[in-house]
Each structure stands twice: as structure tokens, then as C-alpha cells.
Structure 1
Amino acid sequence: MSIERPISELTIGLTQLDKRSREVFRRIVDSYLTTGEPLGSRNVSRLLSVALSPASVRNVMADLEVLGLIYAPHTSAGRLPTELGLRFFVDAMMEIGELSSDDRSVIERQVSASNRSRSVEEILTDASTMLSGMSRGAGVVVASKLDPAIKHIEFVALDPERALVVIVGEDGSVENRIVALPKGLPSSALVEAGNFLNAQMRGRTLGEARAAIEDALNSAQSELDELSTRVVEAGLASWAGVSAGQPRQLIVRGQANLLEDLKALEDLERIRLLLEDLEGKKEVIDLLGRAETGDGVRIFIGSENKLFSLSGSSMVAAPFRDDEKKIVGVLGVIGPTRLNYARIVPMVDYTAKMVGSLLKQG
């Protein structure tokens, strides 16, 4: 497993903290990730492996505040890590262990249940749901929208000027599209168009089928009458560019988990903003797309990215690959900045590898 840990000039400078400062800082971060509560100098003093008075701890805290690693949420409160502090902790201090045997079993049992007889979308949805349940955050997946081979196509009249085209893929996927109909079209023309398209499309992707159908129409190989031909051409128009721009699908599961364990009204407001962020699909897709730039797990914390600038949330994400070793999507977990990063990083990494393995089998 690899994790993207950018080495910046700031990170290099902060790694020069002495052992005492690092331990005080680690105790504050560990407490925040566990409880979400600030930690005071007296409690820090009790937790340290070396004897240090509360007064000495306060002096260390003052130095850490000057560096921008911690802050006091209230005048007489203890200290919490800042977003910069969390970034420093994740990049320079966090120890990523192996995935626990229990977590590994859950992932293998739930993700592997999505075997090759199920659609790719079902595999990805299962992965998102599983990550949500294990992390108590929101599970997210972004993947290239696939162009599966066609199993069956059918036209269903909605009204005199519109028809629903039902396209069933060999992977079990179903797409519905509406096409305009020529005025006065007899019902037999829909049946005739459907039969023609099934003969041309079965076993081909939409992109492949369009080329074959256009060739058949241009060379007058079909025996369609004029009205049926217009129905087919209307369908072709609606399928134009189906593979252009590699459209993306976003799957989000477990938003309700984000409402659990709220400690204050400001937490409720933060979650409200986060749920609004998740509704902005383009922004989520763009952010997840940034995780495609490397092989490792990426961690995005708070306002260092536009999406979470208001809600102050975090995301752990990793890419997955198809049988040609090409990155075809990203999955991850979104939650508050006090995510259990050390546990979630290997969880996301292993899930991405499992999903990639299933896609290679499909």
C-alpha cells in the first residue's frame, strides 16, 4: 500500500520539532480524532511518557500555536489541531498499519459478494455502501460510465410524438431514453424499428452499433420503410456522442451517518454544508478526479480544497483499475476532519484493489 505524502518546505521545517513537542502534539491530535474534544495541559501532562508539568506543557502548546498546528476554540479551553496541524500529522507523523483481520473479512465478504453475474454499477454501489458502514462516514465512488454490449432494445410509445427507448445491456444495466416520433407514425413502425435495431445492435456497444446501423442505412441493406427509418435515425441522434468526453457516474451512500455523534449546533451546521457539497456532483467528481493522478491513497483535508472550504470535512480516496491496468474510477470516504485516518487509509486502499480485481474478472 502506498499513500501520497507531499513533502513541502513547511513539512520539512515542522519535522524539526523536538521529541517533547511532537509528543504533546500527537496527544492533542489523538484525543481529537478519538473524542472530538479539546485537550487541556493538565490532561496532556498525565498522558505523556515523560514527566512534564502542566506549566511546561502550556509552554509547548504556546510554541505549537505559533507554528499554527493547534488552537484554542475558547479562551479557557484546551487545544485542538488546526487543519494545518492535521495535514502535518497525516504527512509526517501518522503510522499506517496493516488492515485488521476483521476489516479485511468484512471487505472481502461484502465486496466479493458482487460477483461477475452482477452489473458494474452494482459492484460499485456495494463498495460505496460497505465503506460507509465501516467508516461511519459517506462512501463515494466515481467511475467512467461504461458502454456495455447491448442485449436487447425496445420502443415503447408514450404519446403520438414520443417513445421511450429501453436499452438492456449484457451486464444487466438498463438505460431509458426518450426520442421524438414523426407525426402519424403507426405502431407497426416501432416494432419494425425495434426488430431492425436488435438485429444490428445485439452483442455490440452503442458506439459500435451506431456505425453498423449507419452503414446499413446508407447502403440500403435494410428493408425499413421511410417512417421506420426516421425512428431509427432519431434513436441514432439520441445516442450520438455516447462515449465522447468519458461521462462519469457518481455513487454516494451513507449520508445519514454524517448526522450521528453531533456535539454542538456548529457541528449540525457543518454537516448541513457538507450535505449540500455532496449534492454538487460536479465538484465531488472533480475532487475525486484529483485522486487519479497517482497510484496511492490521497487524503484531502478541510479548506485546502474548494469543495470542503465551508464544511471543513475530509476525504480519503484511492483509484481502481480495469483489466488493462487503466484507472477507471476512484472510491473513498468523506467525513469530518476527525476521521480515523490510520484505519480508513488501508480500508480504502484494499477496497480499491478488490474492486479492480472484480472488474478484471468481469
Structure 2
Amino acid sequence: MIQELNERSRQIFRQIVESYLETGEPVGSRTLSQRLGFPLSPASIRNVMQDLEQAGLLYSPHASAGRIPTQAGLRIFVDSFLELGNLTEDERHSIEAHGSTSGQSVEGLLTEATRQLSGLSQCAGLVIAPKADKPLDHVELVNLGPGRALVVLVAQDGSVENRIIDTPMGLTPSGLQVASNYMSARLGGRTMAEGRTRILREIDENRAELDALAARVVEAGLATWSGDDAGNMLIVSGRARLLDDLTALADLERVRQLFDDLESKRDVLQLLELAQDADGVRIFIGSENKLFSLSGSSLIVAPFRRQDEKIVGMIGVIAPTRVNYGRVVPMVDYTARMIGRLIR
């Protein structure tokens, strides 16, 4: 579509979008006549603005003569006119300083990187990656009362994960202890994936030396780590930043819905799939990504790779569609590259 615009229309369109991204306000013909680098009357500018509106690139949010870009207009601006800025030395140093792996796990590194990216960009930071399937030290099953138990997995590196499972009625404390001892014996020194295969084979072949109730507890414990998103790590930092510029109650409700979706990890696998085909930073504006369409947010993400160039996750920001893309994109890119240098 941009190919069909003449130079004057391109200049006016670019000025409108840049002004909107800077101020958040509709741009009128009088303001444009003062900002353009060539003489053009407000009447001529209004004619061009009407043409751009008919093309679906601009719209008027209310009765004023000002215009702001549509989602399609923002997409064309990002693809055709966006000029990326350079990170300052302070910004580079800040990102690198929070990337030190000394004394912290990969999850700790990603958490710090996301928090720092959120602070620098003034957006909500996001990272998603498959959880490392670490060798386990032992497993504990803790009784929480009739029908419920807590599964605690302690990895050899000291990290701990726990989840609640349903247990069959009639299971005795001694039966729960038997299941706990059995899982520890089979999973100790192995990853969950390795241990699960062995345990399920033994149960299937009736070699598990467990009664029926204990076997059901073991299977329930294993099942909690085999769901669609159970193996994925999702970290979101700085959610409150998405509320900063909201004024309408409807906008607030949309962002709250986004928070609920993130909390429930809805469509998390879809987010991870976005990284698989990515080569550098990708920008999804509004409804271009299903998860963020209701909130009217943009997603700016980049994959990070291990030293063997395999993509192992993605990091980025959730931002209002009116964000300084030229400033945020280099931050996301630099942070992803920094993580890739540190992850083994």
C-alpha cells in the first residue's frame, strides 16, 4: 500500500504517526503545516489526510479534525518508516550488569533480565522458555488432607518445584509414604523425562511393587509435569506499567483480561511458537497476536539462542500500541543477544 502513496502523502503520514507516538494526541492539519519541511496549506493537508483515512491508514477518534493511525497504519509505519535508535552506554551497561550468571540459575538470570528490560522500556517485560529438565535429588509427597497431596521435587542444583495433586479416597499415610519413597528411588539422579518413562513402564508391567492406590498417586504426580504448558516457564515483570496511560474503564478491563490470560498461561505455547520462526526482533501490533488482541497491546519479542544456535526461548515486552518502537526494539534485541551469550 505504501508504494501507492506519493512522496507528499508519505511525509504527512509519517509526521502524523511520529507525532502520535510521541504525544498520544490526534494530529491536525495546522500542526502538520508547521512541522512539514515543505510549504503546504492546511487545506491541502486535510485533503491528503482524508485520502489516508479512506485508505484505512488513519482515523479520527472523535469529532475533532485530528487523526491518529489505525492498526494497519502502525504496521505500515513499523515496516516502512521505523528508524531504530542506538542504546546509550548506560543502557548497555545496565543490561549487561543484570546478566551476570554468578550465583543464580537460568531462571534467575531470565527473571533479572525481564525485570531490567521492563524498567528500561517502561513496558511489561516477558520471557518464555522451556524449563530445564534437571536431574532430581529426591521427591516428597506431603499429605494435605483427604483427597489432596503436595508433590515436592528437589533438583540436584537445589531448586524446588511443587504442585498439588488429587489423591484417591482411602489412601493411608503409610501408602502415601510408600509412593513417595518409590518416586524418589526411581527419579533420584534422573531428569523427570527419564524417570517418568521408567516408572510408567514398571506400573504398566505390574513390576512397581505398589498397591493400586499408591500407583494412582504416582501416576497423578507424574501427570502434573506432562501437561501442555507444564514444561514452560513464563515470567512477566512490570505489569502495572500497562495501566499507566489508561483512562477509559473499557481499556482497564481489557488489560485485566490480559493479566488473567497470562496468569492462566492461556496460549503460552502459541507465544513460544512465535520464536521458532523468528530471526531477530518481531513486532505484533494489536490483533496480529490472538493473546493480546483484546487488550490493544503490542508484543515486541526476540528469540534467544544457545551457543549451538538452537532457539531456546524468547524475551520481549508487552507495550501499548503507542510505544516508541525505535527505542524499545534495540533494547529487546540487545537483551536477547546477551542472554544467548550466557546460556549454555
TM-score normalised by length of structure 2: 0.84
Letter in 2 for 1:327: I
Render the CA deviation track for 1:112-138: whole Å, top value 9, x for unaligned.
14x264233333222322222222222
- Alignment partner, residue 84 of structure 2: 96
Q: Does 1:131 align with 2:112?
A: no
- Alignment partner, residue 232 of structure 2: 248
How far apart, in 2, do the equivalents of 1:95 and 1:165 lie? 51
Q: 1:58 to 1:284 in 2, by over 3 A?
A: farther
Letter in 2 for 1:341: Y
- Alignment partner, residue 284 of structure 2: 300
Alignment of 1:300-339 (within 5 A): 300-339=284-323
Q: Does 1:235 align with 2:222?
A: no
- Alignment partner, residue 173 of structure 1: 159
- Alignment partner, residue 46 of structure 1: 34
Letter in 1 for 2:53: E
Does the 8 Å CA contact 1:118/1:171 hold for their aligned counterparts?
Answer: no
- Alignment partner, residue 31 of structure 1: 19
Does the 8 Å CA contact 1:250/1:285 hold for their aligned counterparts?
Answer: no
Q: Secondary structure at the match of 1:15?
A: helix
Letter in 2 for 1:271: L
Does the 8 Å CA contact 2:298/2:320 hold for their aligned counterparts?
Answer: yes
How far apart, in 2, do the equivalents of 1:311 and 1:88 lie? 21
- Alignment partner, residue 260 of structure 1: 244
Q: Secondary structure at the match of 2:5?
A: coil
- Alignment partner, residue 352 of structure 1: 336
TM-score normalised by length of structure 1: 0.80
Letter in 2 for 1:347: M
Does the 8 Å CA contact 1:258/1:271 hold for their aligned counterparts?
Answer: no
How far apart, in 1, do the equivalents of 2:202 and 2:60 lie? 73
How far apart, in 1, do the equivalents of 2:326 and 2:124 lie? 17
Q: 1:230 to 1:45 in 2, by over 3 A?
A: same
- Of 130-139 and 194-203, deviating more is 194-203
Identity of aligned residues (%): 50
Letter in 2 for 1:31: S
Alignment of 1:35-74 (within 5 A): 35-74=23-62
- Of 150-159 and 24-33, deviating more is 150-159
How far apart, in 1, do the equivalents of 2:272 and 2:177 lie? 43
How far apart, in 1, do the equivalents of 2:38 and 2:29 lie? 14
How far apart, in 1, do the equivalents of 2:201 and 2:273 lie? 37
Does the 8 Å CA contact 1:270/1:310 hold for their aligned counterparts?
Answer: no
Q: 1:219 to 1:184 in 2, by over 3 A?
A: closer
Q: Secondary structure at the match of 1:311?
A: coil
How far apart, in 2, do the equivalents of 1:78 and 1:139 lie? 32
Q: 125, 134, 137: which one pairs with 1:148?
A: 134
How far is the alpha carbon of 1:288 from its aligned partner?
5.2
- Alignment partner, residue 4 of structure 1: none
How far is the alpha carbon of 1:105 from its aligned partner?
1.7
How far is the alpha carbon of 1:300 from its aligned partner?
0.9
- Of 66-75 and 38-47, deviating more is 66-75
Q: Secondary structure at the match of 1:344?
A: helix
How far is the alpha carbon of 1:256 from its aligned partner?
1.0
How far apart, in 2, do the equivalents of 1:254 and 1:309 lie? 19
Q: Give the count of matched residue pairs.
A: 339
- Alignment partner, residue 277 of structure 1: 258
Does the 8 Å CA contact 1:116/1:358 hold for their aligned counterparts?
Answer: no
Does the 8 Å CA contact 2:275/2:311 hold for their aligned counterparts?
Answer: no
Q: 1:305 to 1:163 in 2, by over 3 A?
A: closer
> What's the RMSD between the two structures over aligned residues?
3.2
- Alignment partner, residue 7 of structure 1: none
- Of 273-282 and 237-246, deviating more is 237-246
Q: Does 1:210 align with 2:196?
A: yes
Does the 8 Å CA contact 2:129/2:233 hold for their aligned counterparts?
Answer: yes
Does the 8 Å CA contact 1:39/1:79 hold for their aligned counterparts?
Answer: yes
- Of 80-89 and 199-208, deviating more is 199-208
Letter in 1 for 2:258: D
Which structure 1 segments of 5+ residues have no match? 1-9
Q: 1:71 to 1:210 in 2, by over 3 A?
A: closer
Does the 8 Å CA contact 1:182/1:231 hold for their aligned counterparts?
Answer: no
How far apart, in 1, do the equivalents of 2:271 and 2:207 lie? 48
How far apart, in 1, do the equivalents of 2:198 and 2:296 lie? 51
Q: 1:214 to 1:103 in 2, by over 3 A?
A: same
- Alignment partner, residue 5 of structure 1: none
Which structure 2 segments of 5+ residues have no match? none
How far apart, in 1, do the equivalents of 2:138 and 2:185 lie? 9
How far is the alpha carbon of 1:141 from its aligned partner?
1.8
Q: 1:179 to 1:304 in 2, by over 3 A?
A: closer
